[in-house]
Amino acid sequence: MIREEEVFKIGQFAKPHGIKGELSLVTNSDVLEDAEDPYIVCEMDGILVPFFVEDFRYKTDTVVLVKLEDVNSEEDARMFVGKEVFYPLDAVDEEDLVGDMTWDSFIGYTVTDVQKGYLGEITDVDETTINVLLRVDHKGEELLIPAVEELITEADHEARSLTVSLPEGLRELGKGTFESCTMLSEVNIPSTLTELPEAAFYNCGYFPSFTVPANIQTIGSEAFYSCTALQEVTLSEGIVSIGDYAFQNCQVLETVSLPASCTTLGNYVFDGCQALTAFSVAPENPAYQEQDGVLFTADGETLLRYPQAKAETSYTVPEGCTTLADWSFIGSTALEQINIDGVTAIGEDCFYYCTALKSITVPEGITELNGAVFAYCLSMEEATLPSTIRKLGNHCFYSCAKLKKLELPDGLTTIGDQCFYNCVALLQMNLPKSITEIGEQAIGYYTPSDAKDNEAKEIDQLYVYNDGSEVVRKYMQHWRANTYKYWLIGGGITVVVAGGIVTLIAVHQSRNKIRPTSRHASATKKK
């Protein structure tokens, strides 16, 4: 085991360089040049671990591009970002014991641009983001300069100065430019930029407000993902498109105003915006409109998003609306009643985690309910399905723990995986003979509160009527066998013999909520 007294610090890894696993090492030491088989040491989970250097080359006098053995991709390299780098004492002469050149070492350096002249002094260094940022005091205002080799042309350590070459008109930011800058509160976007890239401000948790200027036409996917302090965002006229998950999990964002120019919204743009009370849309917008704070397509035929924090307890889908988009009501925890008469299509996970919803009537004409449409509707006691329904998808009524009244119509063919999982109050079900497919743990299973590893148990109180489906018969045979086996092994059997009838009496009472797997189901997961 390597001890601290056996190594000395030579620098710090800044960021990956390229896609083949190289890392930028900030250092003023040249110990690597004199070693036959060099290796460096990094602290990993509290342990000093050696890593053999496969290759290295100097980018500048203070930046060495290092390729470590078995680190072969940008993803592999990212685990080393920000790590202090050490070198074994026994591998160098005493005169070579210099180092400790990290990004913090540049605090106090003056910065001069080759075109604009003197800019100011470095007051701080932000290493929380993928790209290290130099904070420069420029006449009382803060400048943020990415610490990348392409911009830093010279470092004079005796004079404690940096020379940079900043582009006259910045036209592009890289992916994740300000990602995880947890203390970043303000950014001035230059007029030459036309796009905020993917994950530009990902997890910047200190933004109270942000104005996207008119020169920005595109907001990339996850651009403001999990900006948990973002309460107000201004989308200026000129913005054309907003990418997938762009504002997902902005937990205190209250209102959104779409300008007339914004004609494209990606998937799940506002998912997890738990404080969102209303949308507003410019009247001239050709793609979208709002009605009572609810977002629709311009023709009013598709309801795109119901604000998650809208306070009303009841809602009626307006006349002319025929489609409820995927996730359109997800996490609307105030809604107790909703009238969807006239709707002919219901999207995936539409009412997921509408915890106050007490009942629902699915209109005639609906043939499929796909995905976890009513999953975690914890207050739902009754659901009415149309005679036209043919398919209930995976997790459709998952963890509707109070659901006790439901009639499955003749003509239903498919019940998906875990469709009625954790529906512990639904103790009588009539399964029509039309059923040809029934998924795993679709009926009669739950997870006890004391279960280990989410182990499923059978709801032994459940009574199922089968009108003649062979698929149902086989499913229930397996279910009954498991139920019998479980109670026999557990010693929980009471056998009463009367008239040749053996009655197995067993009672289980438990409630537990298990969330179906979904990468972006953030309405229930407080991020």
Find tokens 């056996």 and name the residue.
6
Stretch 351-367: mean pLDDT, rounded? 96
Judge whether 221 and 243 are in contact, CB under 8 Å: yes
Query: What amino acid is encoded at 207 in this protein?
Result: F
Domain boundary among 101, 131, 155: 101
**Domain hosting residue 283, numbered range:** 176-298
The CA–CA distances, whole Å, from 240 to 129, 233, 260, 264, 270 equal 28, 16, 9, 6, 17
Do 149 and 289 fall into the same domain? Answer: no
pTM metric for this prediction: 0.64
- Rounded CA-CA distance 191/199 in Å is 20
- Rounded CA-CA distance 307/278 in Å is 6
**Which pLDDT band, with edges at 50, 70 and 90, does 486 fall under?**
very low
Angle at 95 between CA 89 and CA 98, to 5 degrees: 70
Question: Mind giving me the DSSP string for 206-219?
Answer: T-SEEEE-TT--EE
Do 319 and 449 fall into the same domain? Answer: yes
Pairing assessment for the beta strands 314-316 and 302-305 based on DSSP bridges: unpaired
- Rounded CA-CA distance 251/12 in Å is 35
Residue 520, in any domain of the structure: no
Do 394 and 471 fall into the same domain? Answer: yes
**Which pLDDT band, with edges at 50, 70 and 90, does 183 fall under?**
low
Please report, for the domain that includes residue 353, its CATH number: 3.80.10.10
**Which pLDDT band, with edges at 50, 70 and 90, does 524 fall under?**
very low
Residue 307, in any domain of the structure: no
- Rounded CA-CA distance 280/290 in Å is 6
Report the chain's mean pLDDT, rounded to a whole number.
Answer: 82
Do 95 and 126 fall into the same domain? Answer: no
At 89-146, the pLDDT tens digits run: 887 765 554 444 566 777 888 888 776 778 889 888 876 555 677 888 877 877 777 7
Report residue 371 as tokens: 């995905």
Question: Mind giving me the DSSP string for 271-282?
Answer: TT-TT--EEEE-
Do 482 and 335 fall into the same domain? Answer: yes
Helix (H, G, I), strand (E, B) or coil at 500: coil
- Rounded CA-CA distance 31/86 in Å is 11
**Which pLDDT band, with edges at 50, 70 and 90, does 23 fall under?**
confident
Over 70: is that where the pLDDT of 276 sits?
yes
Do 325 and 420 fall into the same domain? Answer: yes
Please report, for the domain that includes residue 36, its CATH number: 2.40.30.60
At 241-262, the pLDDT tens digits run: 999 999 998 999 998 999 999 9
Residues present in the chain in total: 527
Report residue 441 as tokens: 């743990």
Structural domains in the chain (count): 4
Angle at 519 between CA 20 and CA 393, to 5 degrees: 135
Higher pLDDT, 484 or 410: 410
Helix (H, G, I), strand (E, B) or coil at 99: coil
